[in-house]
Structure 1
């Protein structure tokens, strides 16, 4: 096929959107929107990188900080949540060999996350609402700096995303625990117990061990969804609190900001927010590593029972590590700094290290392995977390945290390497391995573009994190602008690394479009012709 025909119809015309089930279409919609929002994030990131070298004439300083506020939230909710929700709404029923509990609820999850992200991004873009992504009190309610209407729509957008997330969580647990019509009845309590790790824990004290009713990757999704639920409650409560002040301001009431204890608020907010960073992300990633390792090798997971136990430990640990974000707060109680901030946080090196080892051991057991696209991106994801997790543990030291906390080090070697390299490359691995399943056998257009994507993303992600870290070690703060060229060398190198990520993403996006064709992309968003609850066509 010539270029034009391939662009329209996809590689060899193999992708036919009319053959997709409603579940396949739903999953692909999540992925497409997640990738579009990732494109937003990459472009915004590049604009910030360039602005930190030299202010751009078409971006004002308030708009820069508005981008800085929305950038990570679009990345987390618009991109990562979209791809993760889409993948797990497909994989949980796929692995349990039964239909999703509610496709309608899945569609509402898609609509709410997509729309909510666009609303809060637009609110920041138009009004320059920029209390920064941590929303430290009283910044979100400081209407002397920020538009109350812009802030209202920003928080409403976040709340809409959380509503979609809540529907996702309900759908996941209902899918795990329900018995499809015509099946032999399965006890919901036993399924839930297996998913959450209660069965495995009780087996430690039983002579006659009970079998696990739920596959290990599904157990990881369930346990990560517990943290997602707690995070949703926290963010919604915080949003309601902020909205009370905003509605009060709109109605002409001057509510006192001092009525809210800033330290208590910060502890509450970070407890919830850290359930994403140190909870569901690490649990979801570990479960995804395990699934990918099993799918790539065709072998059972190495040390499967240990892996199940580690997921349960990670879940409990995730509830108690938030204080490492407050190590530099003078008013934070010392006991919380030491126990939660330092000692418990160190367990994450053990739990994530176990996940890393078990995944590699499973891959090693199947050698020699062909370096497929899913395998190379999985290895890239493993490398990302191998670099980012120790960087985070280093920060979880009271002495070092005083130096590093508010610098580019935190968002460079730790956050960006963890998300861009560790998390995103793991997601890319999942996309590549699920692509033929979700598209009924469509082929990737160009292996050369896959290789460009891999190397540009890997080198760019690690490079940007490293150069941001160097700037941080030299004293560059992460929420400040330097307009006199103090850190130009490292910021130029970080911008060049970011350019590699952008090039890699363009190569990937173009490759996917050429694989399914423009007709295929549009067809994903049309109603399914096949009326079935089955995940795949018969």
Structure 2
């Protein structure tokens, strides 16, 4: 089916995408409540009722928002994007997508039940030697397998389009969805390995111990590309949707594709920069992965250049002059633009903080302090989530046959302001407290009012204020989502897909050469991890039953 002939996403595909969004926004409600309770506990002015544990709600917050909300939203968005730009999914592709959705949902319910029963208070990272109930690990495995099936539907849709259009570059949104899907599948091999080979047998009592270093290394093999799995859908909206929303053109199709390929190449073999303080890994390999981490800055800067070139080109076409004259002509009254734009701006300090986190020496200052949590909330919880909200404002009514009314549009901008203000308080206080040595993950009560802990109290109160404002923003977001899904007036809402500028260079077909890009990705991973893994396994401690703990 020709892309130009598609005006709206097929209703059957829309139902599949919306099913993912329903779970995502339920996760937003539960995870947001847990986050509010966390900040109140850390302020030292509030105690959890009914015997609920601090680390229990900390696990709920991290797992439900960091893994469940993001994975469901991203898969729903990418399925809709592929259906829009490459043609309606086939019955087989849609069936695979539905099987993936139900597996993910079943896995989420299993993992959530264990957390709520306080049998899996192992935090978002679920590091050994913290141990959860076996059903928690089985649930996580089902979420990953289900997401692979969603990804399979996306890959099949891409392959079908390529077969029907030989010699042509694939639609940009489909290409981007494919890259992010491949990144996710390759990255989740690490976490699936540690869960199935180490943590699940250990939880079932089949082995008495696990190799903690190997487990953490496999987690961070997954954990850092996970950040880009979150980020790339936001980049999809920034590159392709925002130009259409403002009435401009995509600055360069080729530059957008190149930035996504670079993220695929450089985001996976960099997990050691999360383990810079850990023994057992040769410093030379840590330093190598720090260098690879810094290479990811390149596609981020490419993205910033492309976006602001798009904005300036549009402004000049409207007669704007001067260095920043184009700012005045952007559609600030349109939530579809303004909300993601706030997310874009937040990514500037977030990126600067990421450079500090990945630096060989500066990391020593902030490692395992609440600075890291503050950075996390600028990247995922602001840049990414605000962009996801911006996508919601046009995609949900597009899929449900409704419209974004003026009242809901205005409320969406108010919601984004709440979010920005709340995150400024909370993330800013986290960064400041982190520089004073306040630890990550811990509550004030654990320090018994020690002098050092007392120094952190003003910042923890600021976090509670920010968290409360953010929770109001979550309530507003849920209200908008429910209206767009069920109660807004019937009508047609545009699925904005930008066109490339006439001045842009022709897109080369080398970007569709997956043997090349996947081959380089595998080589980089093998280069960065093979020798360190051999070293870890050869030098693993001997278990009580006489075997190496791997």
Q: TM-score, normalised by structure 1?
A: 0.80
1:64 to 54, 78, 89: 54
Q: Is the 8 A contact 1:50 1:56 kept in 2?
A: yes
1:446 CA displacement: 3.1
Determine the C-alpha separation between the residues in 2 that align with 1:56 and 1:520: 42
Determine the C-alpha separation between the residues in 2 that align with 1:356 and 1:425: 17
1:229 to 182, 185, 196: 185
1:505 to 461, 466, 474: 474
Q: Is the 8 A contact 1:224 1:281 kept in 2?
A: no
Determine the C-alpha separation between the residues in 1 that align with 2:432 and 2:29: 26
The residue number in structure 2 matching 1:270 is 220
Matched, 1:103 2:72: no
Determine the C-alpha separation between the residues in 2 that align with 1:502 and 1:433: 23
The residue number in structure 1 matching 2:117 is 126
1:237 CA displacement: 1.7
Question: 1:209-288 counterparts in 2 under 5 A?
Answer: 211-212=168-169, 214-240=170-196, 241-247=198-204, 249=205, 255-257=207-209, 260-277=210-227, 279-288=228-237
1:515 CA displacement: 4.4
The residue number in structure 1 matching 2:103 is 112
Question: 1:321-336 counterparts in 2 under 5 A?
Answer: 321-336=270-285
Matched, 1:425 2:425: no
1:155 CA displacement: 0.9
Determine the C-alpha separation between the residues in 1 that align with 2:41 and 2:270: 34
CA displacement 1:404-443 (0-9 Å, x = unmatched): 111000011x111101111001111111132442232423
The residue number in structure 2 matching 1:316 is 265
The residue number in structure 1 matching 2:294 is 346
Quick one: structure 1 residues 50 and 369, their matched pair in 2 at CA, closer, same or farther if it must change by over 3 Å?
A: same
The residue number in structure 2 matching 1:527 is none
Three-state SS of the structure 2 residue aligned to 1:139 is coil
Matched, 1:289 2:248: no
The residue number in structure 2 matching 1:11 is none
Determine the C-alpha separation between the residues in 2 that align with 1:126 and 1:287: 38
CA displacement 1:91-145 (0-9 Å, x = unmatched): 11211134355222222222222232222122011034223322323323xxxxx
Determine the C-alpha separation between the residues in 2 that align with 1:35 and 1:318: 28
Determine the C-alpha separation between the residues in 2 that align with 1:115 and 1:73: 15
1:72 CA displacement: 1.5
1:79 CA displacement: 0.9
CA displacement 1:343-396 (0-9 Å, x = unmatched): 221122221121122122213322333221111012112112212111011111
CA displacement 1:34-65 (0-9 Å, x = unmatched): 11101111110111111111274445887211
The residue number in structure 1 matching 2:377 is 416
1:518 CA displacement: 6.2
> Structure 1: which 5+ residue stretches go unaligned?
1-18, 141-149, 180-185, 192-209, 522-538
Matched, 1:87 2:87: no
Determine the C-alpha separation between the residues in 2 that align with 1:285 and 1:510: 22
Determine the C-alpha separation between the residues in 2 that align with 1:480 and 1:134: 14
The residue number in structure 2 matching 1:34 is 24
CA displacement 1:259-282 (0-9 Å, x = unmatched): x433233222211222211x3233
Q: Is the 8 A contact 2:101 2:150 kept in 1?
A: no
Determine the C-alpha separation between the residues in 2 that align with 1:519 and 1:289: 26
Q: Is the 8 A contact 1:288 1:426 kept in 2?
A: yes
CA displacement 1:439-473 (0-9 Å, x = unmatched): 32423353442232110012212321111111111
Determine the C-alpha separation between the residues in 2 that align with 1:358 and 1:432: 24
Quick one: structure 1 residues 430 and 511, their matched pair in 2 at CA, closer, same or farther if it must change by over 3 Å?
A: closer
Q: Is the 8 A contact 2:270 2:293 kept in 1?
A: yes
1:139 to 130, 136, 140: 130
Determine the C-alpha separation between the residues in 2 that align with 1:217 and 1:318: 20
1:402 CA displacement: 1.4
The residue number in structure 1 matching 2:135 is 153
Determine the C-alpha separation between the residues in 2 that align with 1:270 and 1:357: 29
Of 308-317 and 61-70, deviating more is 61-70
Quick one: structure 1 residues 354 and 370, their matched pair in 2 at CA, closer, same or farther if it must change by over 3 Å?
A: same
Determine the C-alpha separation between the residues in 1 that align with 2:73 and 2:300: 22
The residue number in structure 2 matching 1:529 is none
Quick one: structure 1 residues 329 and 62, their matched pair in 2 at CA, closer, same or farther if it must change by over 3 Å?
A: farther
Determine the C-alpha separation between the residues in 2 that align with 1:446 and 1:284: 24
Determine the C-alpha separation between the residues in 1 that align with 2:186 and 2:443: 34
Determine the C-alpha separation between the residues in 1 that align with 2:240 and 2:385: 16
Determine the C-alpha separation between the residues in 1 that align with 2:214 and 2:200: 18
Q: Is the 8 A contact 1:314 1:351 kept in 2?
A: yes
- Structure with more relative contact order (C-alpha pairs < 8 Å, separation 6 or more): 1
Quick one: structure 1 residues 515 and 317, their matched pair in 2 at CA, closer, same or farther if it must change by over 3 Å?
A: closer
Three-state SS of the structure 1 residue aligned to 2:133 is helix
